[in-house]
Every structure is written in structure tokens, then in C-alpha cells.
Amino acid sequence: MSVLITGGAGFIGSHAAVEFLNAGYEIVIMDNFSNSKPVVLDRIKQITGKDFKFYRADLLDLASLDKIFDENPEIDSVIHFAGLKAVGESVSKPLEYYHNNVTGTLMLCDSMRRHGVKTIVFSSSATVYGAPDEVPIKESARVGNATNPYGETKVMIERILKDIYVSDKEWNVSVLRYFNPIGAHKSGLIGEDPNGIPNNLMPYITKVAGGKLPYLHVFGNDYNTHDGTGVRDYIHVVDLARAHLKALESIKERRGIDYFNIGTGTGYSVLDIVKAYKEATGVEIKYEIEGRRPGDIDACFADPTKAREILGWTAEYDITDMCRDSNNWQRNNPNGYGE
Ligand code: UD1
């Protein structure tokens, strides 16, 4: 039995690959390197001391997908990370986002079905809740009204997976709604390496810490939160990666379709993170308060009870670990994975 990991060279995919290999799984990785680098594969091997098959392939290329399943008949489940994920870019490139994410998933599921592979764990996002009516957010909260095309692709894919399951009860579907993944593997060998100037908070902070950017722009201090800055549920990427192992094991046993929030359940503001970073690493992050970023909300954090009760999963790492490991990755790889 083996697991296909789509997008396995990406930030979350690479950490998941490590956890699956460490847990004794055989894996096959596919990635088109649109937002990742081949060297990631060597790093995964270096961390785990294990080997795996890799395909450079695109989800939109059905023949390549079929080839992967044809050549690896032992694949019995898929962890599906591959997709475009930059919120701002999705607003200016909706066609690319809908096509890559939605059509890509349709192609993947079509190939899976024809090869009798009907177990999938899907990378969704807390973004499917839009502006939540209340926090902490439960899985039963209203889904939809994402504020950008990227978020809409996650909403659409969740609906598609549900309809596939309704049409054929042999499918087992686990949808993981991630909150804000940060941190890096403790080895400092793999981590987040966004293209260009980072949009998300932690990659921006690590660039400031490494002297690549002068200061952090804090987007607004007039939110309805304890210090006025936006509150989010940051989750260590290794904890998040482990949730996929639990989700796969659980869905194979329980069968059907299920949805889980993957967060710690604790919200931290932007200024809390700046403070925690200093405490964890000794590095002072200079910042300036600026206007709000369009589309941002006051607070977003999970009620992770369902994941604990059904998956037996809880986050083990705290905010200090997350800041320390993000900083360690940045120090070891000041230019990310390089060219
Ligand atoms: C963003 C995406 C979300 C995606 C998630 C992935 C938006 C609107 N949402 O969530 O769809 O799933 O990333 O992790 O982009 N901040 C600053 N300065 C910065 C960057 C961020 O003050 O340079 C603040 C933001 O205003 C926010 C918090 O930091 O309050 C977190 O921002 P970010 O890391 O971009 O994540 P989200 O906005 O929660």
C-alpha cells in the first residue's frame, strides 16, 4: 500500500512527506515545481533516510496522472496538496486559479476513480468560512462567501468531493481546514519559501529577522481584538502534517466523508507574534502600524475539538516552537532553497 502526495515538494506537502515516511508509509510524490524546488526532494530524503518515487507532473495533464497510477498500482490513497495558494494573485488571475485548483482536482479524481483509488485527504482552508459569525469556529459553521477566488476554489472543491461521495459511497474523503500554518521542520532543512515578497505574516517576519526587509508593516490596529491587530490561529506545520496521517488512518476505518478544523484553538494577534518571536529567538522585529489590508477580518481561530475527539489529534507545538523553528529555517537558508 502506498500514498500519492500531490504537491509533495511544497511547504506543507514536504513536511507531510517526512511524517508519512517516518511513520513507515511508502509514498509517491508528484509536483510540477510551480512554487517549489527539486532540492526539497533531497532534503526529505536527508531528514528521513528513506527513498520514494517522484514524478514531475501537472494535475492538468491527465495522461501523466494516469501514468502515475498505472505504474504504481499499490497506491490506495491520495493526500492532495497541489494547488495555487496566493490570495492576492488569485484576485488578478481568477482563470488560472479556478483552472488549476478546480479542474486539476477534477482530473485527479477522474484518474483516481478509473484506477479504483477512492480515498482522499484534501487540503482545505479556514478561508471557506469567510468572515465567521463567531469564534472559535466549529466545522458546522456556515461555509461559503470566501472573499477571493483562491478561497472560492477551496469551497468549490469541498462541494465537488461531497458530490463525488454522494454518487459513490466507496469514496472516503477527509477534508482538513487549515488555519495559519507556520514554523518549519526542526532540522532546518525544509520550510516555507514563498516567491518574491511574502504576503503572509510569518514569512515576512523571518525576512525582517534575516535583514532582507527593513520592517514589518502591521496591517491595522483598529480591529475588535485585545490589542487592535488581527488575531489568527497559528499552527506548527509539523503538527499540521501529522494531522494528515491521523486523517488518513481515521477515514480508512470510519469511511465516508468528514471535515476537520486543524488549528490549536488559540488566537494570537500580530503584536503577540512579534513579542513571541523576540522571546523565542532574541530577535527584535521592527514594525510600523499601517492601514488595514482589504479583505482581512478581526479574528479567526478554530474549535479543534472534533479533530481531537475523532482523529485523536491535537497540536503539540506552541507559539514559541513555531517562532523558533521559523527563525531556524530562515537562518539556515537565508535565500530559501536558492535558484
Ligand atoms: C491568509 C489568507 C488565507 C490563507 C492563509 C494561509 C488573506 C486575506 N487570507 O490568511 O486565505 O488561507 O493566508 O496561511 O490573505 N499581517 C500583517 N502584516 C503582514 C502580513 C500579515 O500585519 O505583512 C497580518 C494580517 O493583517 C493578519 C495576520 O497578519 O491579521 C495574518 O495574516 P496572513 O499571514 O496573511 O494570514 P491570513 O490573512 O489569516
Instruction: Give 172's strand partners.
Output: 119, 256
Q: Whose CA is nearest to atom 15 of ligand 1?
A: 87
Q: Which of 98, 150, 178, 234 is catalytic?
A: 150
pTM score, two decimals?
Answer: 0.98
Burial class (CB in 10 A: 0-12, 13-18, 19+), 11: buried
Pocket flag, ligand 1, residue 270 (CB < 6 Å)? yes
Pocket flag, ligand 1, residue 212 (CB < 6 Å)? no
Residue 150 annotated as catalytic: yes
DSSP 112-134: HHHTT--EEEEEEEGGGG-S-SS
Asked if residue 293 lies in contact with residue 222, where contact means CB atoms within 8 angstroms, the answer is no
Q: Mapping DSSP to helix (H, G, I), strand (E, B) and coil, where does residue 82 land?
A: coil
Instruction: Return the pLDDT at 244.
Output: 98
Pocket flag, ligand 1, residue 204 (CB < 6 Å)? yes
Ligand 1 closest atom vs CA 273 = 29
CA of 194 to the centre of ligand 1 (A): 14
- Whether the per-residue pLDDT at 295 is higher than 80: the answer is yes
- Whether the per-residue pLDDT at 339 is higher than 80: the answer is no
- Whether the per-residue pLDDT at 266 is higher than 80: the answer is yes
- Whether the per-residue pLDDT at 130 is higher than 90: the answer is yes
Instruction: Return the pLDDT at 191.
Output: 98
Calculate mean pLDDT across residues 214-218. Answer: 98
Residue type, 221: N
Instruction: Return the pLDDT at 155.
Output: 98
Q: Whose CA is nearest to atom 6 of ligand 1?
A: 180
pLDDT (tens digit per residue) in 139-151:
999 999 898 999 9
Q: How far is CA 245 from CA 20, 109, 250, in A?
A: 7, 20, 9
Pocket flag, ligand 1, residue 287 (CB < 6 Å)? no
Calculate mean pLDDT across residues 83-99. Answer: 96
User: How confident is the prediction for the chain on average, in pLDDT?
Assistant: 97
Q: How confident is the model at residue 100 (pLDDT cuts 50, 70, 90)?
A: very high
CA of 67 to the centre of ligand 1 (A): 37
Residue 237 phi, psi dihedral angles, 5° rounding: -60, -30
pLDDT (tens digit per residue) in 163-210:
999 999 999 999 999 999 999 999 999 999 998 899 999 999 999 999
Instruction: Return the pLDDT at 145.
Output: 86
